[in-house]
Amino acid sequence: MDGNGRWARRRGLPRTDGHTAGEETLATIVRAAAERNVGWLTVFGFSTENWVRPRTEVRHILSLHKKLFGRITELNDKNASIRWIGRPFDEPGALTPVFIQKAIKKAIADTAGNSGLVVTVAFDYGSRAELVRASQIALRSAEAITPDLLSANMYDPSVPPVDVVVRTSGEARISNFLLWQIAGAKVYFTERTWPDFNASELDAAIALVNSNI
């Protein structure tokens, strides 16, 4: 979900306003995805590298994530459930604040009965860290290391292989996100910053899944 800062800068606004606009866009896209019967929507909310951003910006992003995980009524109305992937709270190096941990756990519990769209938020997440952890767990087992064994030890093994990766704001690269799960995925590139992303762009990304491009 790139481009929040650029969106704000082009309008002469503080970066925090861009993140606020981006959070609202995410709510819009979750609604659109649910209406289109999308099965899984996984979003890169906050990476393991984002902690080095200015403290005021990090605090603002954290407050937005608390709000995001608090949208229980809206998620239930759309029959959508919420999941989380990231460094486990009790493992060394994890930095997720307690108040975000509580919000995540409550959101997961309060939407667990829903059977529609699964919204997975990656928070304090880095794909390299995920892969290293899965490899370490696999090495401790008595089994030979196989792709299936590594898949079983990802943060959330139920996350299916990705059909399409959306890359906003003119970024033509793959970041440290779901590196294992996106093998073979289509990639949808758009010049729009994330706050300007809309349902029409979502439709274009979904259309790539069944295209021959």
CA distance 122 to 118: 13
Alpha helices in 13-54 (DSSP H): 15-35
Active site residue 2: yes
CA distance 8 to 15: 6
Which position among 50, 76, 153, 176 bears the catalytic label? 50
Active site residue 50: yes
String of DSSP letters for 51-83: GGS-HHHHHHHHHHHHHHHT-HHHHHHTT-EEE
Backbone angles phi, psi at 76, to 5 degrees: -65, -35
Do 44 and 86 touch, CB atoms closer than 8 A?
Answer: no
Question: Which residues are tagged catalytic?
Answer: 2, 50
